[in-house]
Structure 1
Amino acid sequence: MSLEAFKSRVLPVKNKLYRFAYRLLGDDSEAQDVVQEVLIKVWDRHDTMDELENMEAWCMRVTRNLSYDKLKSRQRRMTDSFEEGFDIGATDDATPYKSAETKDTMRMIRKLMERLPDKQRHVMQLRDIEGYSYKEIGDILELDMSQVKVNLFRARKQIREHLINTTEYGLQ
């Protein structure tokens, strides 16, 4: 693919790619980064791009995949800082015992979330930690609204049951 072909076939879809990435990520700078990475990938493979029938579809797929990668890395960062950044009922006058108990509970929830099936874990992460709406989660994970709600319900139920068994009965 020549520079002229790149300018005529790829650059016109740049704004579509940005809007798609922005819808998935919800962050302007991350969406711009994704589009830039897509354009670099296209240019790096410019010698094989002439074989593609639908350049726009390929670019959209790469945009989606890179956006999902960013979401996963964001999730890892959130999971790594989950205990520190998630203060349930923490107050300035919390006793050391209460603080330790809360920290242990948050650590247990993080471990329980890691054991959930992928869909349930992603939906719970996006809803309860990231604060996305059901519709946004459906768009990000390509699920319909009912699937989002069912997966969230099942994830919360499983974690709740495990926490009750652990705290009430000492079962693990």
Structure 2
Amino acid sequence: MNLDEYNISADQHADGMYRFILKNIRDEDKAKDIVQDSFEKLWRNVEQVNFLKVKSYLYTTAYHTMIDLIRREKRKDDFENVNVLDYSHSEQYSDISEILDAALKRLSDVQRSVILLRDYEGYSYSEIAKITDLSESQVKVYIYRARKHLKKFIGSIETIV
């Protein structure tokens, strides 16, 4: 492709590309930038592009440039909408472990054992039943009652923190 063919391509396809991109992204300035970028890429590859296939090259380049722009803006929007509180913590001292220890001490020995085996160690109900020589239904009842007692003793987590 030579300079005259490049200029003819710009005259023939610039408006159509602009309308195509504008319909997709609905931003006039960005659409103009994408068309300009597409013609810049054509200029850099002018020797490799056949004049008979220039329309296809330009529209494909414009489309891919538009997709890249949309992806960049999406990442930028996602970054700007990050809630800082999700990734930070307060330096305040919290004695929640002391409160949990005090609450656990108020449980009966059986309740404390099954709740620790289930919630701290991660054993299944059947494994806890074998360890404690209780039936599986007894284990579930003890765990339920222990959790209910802990909830009543501690209250809501917001009051602790």
Q: State the TM-score, normalizing by the size of structure 1.
A: 0.46
